[in-house]
Amino acid sequence: MAANQPIVQALNWRRLYLSRAKLKASSGTSALLSGFAMVAMIEVQLDTDYKYPQGLLIAFSACTTVLVAVHLFALMISTCILPHIEAVSNIHNLNSVNESPHERLHCYIEMAWGFSNALGILLFLAEVVLLCWVKFMPLGTGKSEAPTPQPTTGEGTQQGWSAALVSTMIMVPFGLIFIIFALHFYRSLLGHKTDRHRQELEELNQIKFQLDGEDTIVQVV
């Protein structure tokens, strides 16, 4: 049992450092993206002379609200758990890893990681697309201070639509690439964890056989 203890402690410390890294990355990403979403909501200036589609305004408002809520939830989890893990990781004692709550709160750590780096980034991509539509759609429809009213149809109106459509066409492939990469990454990571657990089980079995052999020799003697 004494020979097995260092291996178990090393695995516990590895999980602790991984949990700490995930929480740090989640807190940084969530703070950045939620701040950008709030600034976009505040700074965007709607054209009062243009009649926006009701669905576009509802989608933009809902996407921004959900984006900020998701990232703030991930940031709250990171802020609550990270200090306890940091306090334990700064103690240079192998047995202090048992005082860290990273094992018991593992589901919350994974939730913060998923909200910040998966769901949150997808919502952020959708936010950029909706922001482009809200910003560019009124272009070319004419302004009230112009000396003569501009036509609301034709090439002028198509300028804003074309700009918003181009941004959407660029962002959709990037969104698909992001989803494919995320699925491939987590699948590869799951395979790596499976291989590591299999290797660790083999090492533990070898240690068990060695300990059983030593016990048998002691009993014979």
> Distance between CA 200 and CA 197 in Å, rounded?
5
DSSP state of 97: G
DSSP state of 147: S
pLDDT tens for each residue of 113-168 = 999 988 999 999 999 999 999 988 887 665 534 334 444 445 555 777 888 899 89
Which of 109, 112, 127, 105 is closest to 30 using CA atoms?
112
Q: What is the pLDDT, as a whole number, of residue 150?
A: 45
Which of these ranges, 14-18, 119-123, 176-180, has the smallest mean pLDDT?
Answer: 14-18
8 Å CB contact between 120 and 86: no
Q: What is the pLDDT, as a whole number, of residue 1?
A: 47
Q: Tell me what the pLDDT averaged over the chain comes to.
A: 81
Q: The tokens of 146 are what?
A: 């112009």
pLDDT tens for each residue of 36-80 = 988 988 888 888 888 888 999 999 999 999 999 999 999 999 999
8 Å CB contact between 23 and 109: yes
Q: What is the pTM of this model?
A: 0.75
pLDDT band at 171 (very low <50, low <70, confident <90, very high): very high
